[in-house]
Amino acid sequence: MKRVHRDNALPLGPLARWLVVVVFLGLLGLCYVHMKHKLKVDGDRCRELEHAVADLDEKIKVAGNEIMRLTSRPALERRRTEGLIEMIPVQDARLTRLRVQTTALAAQPVVAVAPDGEALP
């Protein structure tokens, strides 16, 4: 009598296919979680930067108002009377005089004119 030896063979083909599907879905889930986390971190950073920009805009407005206050005519006059700043006259050699043409046909390029009436280079 011949003895028949039967192996309990495992179906490795379908098992390997399911193993690949499970690994793929696991990696897909990990990528999803990573992207959601990165989106939240980047959103928080963007929100922080927006708040920083808003704070800087407010500081720029405050600084602009302070500059306007310090350079206003009354403030400059007060500083001049206190002797903190000195007014010097503008020299004629430093002035640039412009001629305005009344007709469009006679329009010429603007040239600097010296005090004696000659055109400067």
Q: How distant, in Å, are the alpha carbons of 16, 21, 83 from that of 12?
A: 6, 14, 98
46 has which bridge partners? none
List the domain range (segments joined by +) for residue 60.
44-85
Burial class of residue 76, CB neighbours in 10 A (0-12, 13-18, 19+): middle
Structural domains counted in the chain: 1
In a domain, 97, yes or no: no
In a domain, 64, yes or no: yes
In a domain, 51, yes or no: yes
pTM of the predicted protein model = 0.49
Cα–Cα dist 94/113, whole Å: 10
What pLDDT is recorded for position 88? 83
What pLDDT is recorded for position 51? 97
What pLDDT is recorded for position 94? 84
Give the three-state DSSP class for 8.
coil
What pLDDT is recorded for position 36? 98
User: In tens digits, what is the pLDDT along the chain, a chain of 121 residues?
Assistant: 566 666 777 778 888 999 999 999 999 999 999 999 999 999 999 999 999 999 999 999 999 999 999 989 899 889 889 988 888 888 888 888 887 766 655 555 656 666 666 655 5
| φ, ψ (nearest 5 deg) of residue 113 | -120, 130
